[in-house]
Amino acid sequence: MKVSVVGSGYVGTTIAACLADLGHDVVAVDIDQGIVDAINAGDSPIHEPGLDDLVAEHAGGRLRATTDYEALPDTDLTFLAIQTPSNADGSIDTSALEAASEMTGDALADVEEHVVVVKSTVLPDVVDDRLAPRIKAHADDRVSVATNPEFQREGSAVHDFLHPDKLVFGTRPGDERALDALHECYAPLLDARTADGEAVPIVETDVPTAMMVKYANNAFLASKVSLINDIGNICKEYGIDTYEIADAIGLDDRIGAKFLRSGLGWGGSCFPKDLAAIIHAAREHGYEPAMLDAAVTVNENQPERMLELLEKHVDVDGARVAVLGLAFKPGTDDVRNSRAIPVIAGLQERGATVVAYDPVATDNMREHFPDLDYADSAASALENADAALVTTDWDEFQALDDEFDTMHSQIVIDGRRGVEPRDGMTYEGLTW
């Protein structure tokens, strides 16, 4: 199948490379010439485990990139994977996606038939009200518009694409062309197995419902994290290890063990943006989403709790504090809504000298803190530090040992259960 993917960010690059790996001929379309050049040279423009290998393997063969939307008519199906960031009021900014939809519609003006699939996360009414009219402006019914929300986690996006727990196809009632195209596109995955060894379930529904599945999915997961963090904050007051509690309740199949790692909270692009969007949309419809508000409030309070724990052990004003981890989670260089950002800002407000380290995310964090002292290793960050804060649970931090001996005082506040306590260390877990 010939497939085009418009947008080469975290989602677009991953699905383009994975679709090429499944045997499709894929063209990635992006307005950034630098990204296009990188893909054509076999280099991934983002850090994502396994993605470098796929791009390198298929570039120049089943995967190529261009800035020209005129490549779309030569394909059978187009995915739109344009970012939809948050506005200041929490609503989503669809301007870039609308512009891409318009250019897609212009490029497809003379096709006999084509299927456009919206991968970008948008509210249920956006596809029909704002995107489809632009996409179908010239070709009308010769172009079908469908949705196929993505559920890939940064840090494991390649694995999640190739081993999905579900596929959601949103099409207009009676649009067999779009539904058939989605089935054909994903046919190589239909014999795959989920993590539980089951065949991959396919959810066939309408366009608005498919998009709401995405929002509900992320809202539920984010709320689960905030709930275990709230429980963890209470456990901390009693000196109870929240992870023991999580292990026990996770055995209940109504709860499950996933997303019960209490700590500093969630960040990234999806959870914050999607919760803000659905909360804003609910209020526009006259409903107050109290549970989702609470999930956000708990999450926003966790960095401050970490700083309060630090203040129990050290006078932060004038202290040298090492911050270990800048990415919002391990396995990615993405710092969007990273919990390290409010932690660093809070340290600076309290007069601390901050030295930070992350194995891959330093360059992206410079956009937020250009004058921060960035170390080239965890050992360098810890040297002569009065305290250390663990904000991302990179595997390499678990192996740290003698490096703590170089600290001025071995005070460690761990927001991710990311390091092993040792003799001589004053160790505090955020929720355990």
In 3D space, the residue among 95, 151, 147 whose CA is nearest the CA of residue 116 turns out to be 147
DSSP 228-256: HHHHHHHHHHHT--HHHHHHHHTTSTTT-
- Look up residue 47 and give its two tokens: 């850090």
- Look up residue 424 and give its two tokens: 């001589």
Annotated catalytic residue within 18, 185, 235, 270: 270
Quick check: is 270 catalytic?
yes
3 state SS of 200: coil
CA angle 185, 191, 196 (to 5 degrees): 120
CA angle 378, 302, 123 (to 5 degrees): 105
Contact 144, 175 (CB under 8 A): yes
3 state SS of 402: helix
In 3D space, the residue among 99, 56, 55, 107 whose CA is nearest the CA of residue 78 turns out to be 107
DSSP 308-333: HHHHTTS--TT-EEEEE--SSSTT--
In 3D space, the residue among 344, 345, 347 whose CA is nearest the CA of residue 358 turns out to be 344
Give the Cα separation of 102 and 289 in Å (integer): 34
For residue 255, count other CB atoms closer than 10 A to its CB.
15
Give the Cα separation of 344 and 392 in Å (integer): 13
Residues with catalytic function: 270
